[in-house]
Structure 1
C-alpha cells in the first residue's frame, strides 16, 4: 500500500512542479505584454501631443495677417498679381466651354500604365510600390 501511494505521489508531484513552472512563465509573459501595451499607449500619447503641437504651429504660421505681411514683403520678388477668373476669360466664354462627357471620365486605367506615364513625364523612374 505504501509503495502504491509513493508511485502515485511521484507523478502528482512532478505534475504540480510542471504546472508551477508553467504558471510562473505565463505570469512573466503576461507582465511583458502589459508592459508592451503601456509602452505603446505612452508612445501613442507622445505622438498625439506632437501632432497637436504641429497643428498649432501650422495654424500660427498660416495666420492671414502673417501671410499678408510676407506677401507684401516679397511682392517684387514673387511678382504676384491679383487675378480673377474674369481677367482670363469672360463669364460668357466660361459658360460656352464644353462639359466633359460621363464616358470620358469613366475610362478604366491600368495602374502599370499610369506609373509608366508618370515615369516618362518626370524623366526619372518611380519606386516600385511592391518593394518597400
Structure 2
C-alpha cells in the first residue's frame, strides 16, 4: 500500500478549491486524481481535519486475541490438534477464521502445530532402544 499524500498538499488542494476553483481544475493544477480532490473535500466536510487515516491492521491483535488463552490451553492439552480442527472448534465458539489465521496466531504465541509421522518422532536420549 502506498503512503498517503502529505498534509501540506492536502491543505493546499482544499484551499485551492475553496478559492472557487473546480475539483477538476485542482486535479490538473496539483497533478493528482479528481477522486483525491473529492475525497479531501469530503474528509474536510465530515471530520474538519485533513489528517490521513491510520493504515494497517488495528492494534487489537485480530479476531483471535480474545481467545488466545483458550487456544494455548487447547494446544497444550492436545498437541496433535490440527489447524482445521481448531478452526471448527473456534467456529463453535462463534469465531469464523481461516486456517492460515490460526497458524499465524500459533506462530505468534510461539506454539507449533507441525506434526511428524509416528515413526519419525524424536526420542529422548534415555528412552532409546538398546541404550
TM over 0.5: no
| TM-score, normalised by the number of residues in structure 1 | 0.22
Structure 1 or 2, whichever has the larger Rg, is: 1
Query: Which structure is higher in RCO with an 8 Å CA cutoff and minimum separation 6?
Result: 2
TM-score, length-scaled by structure 2? 0.22
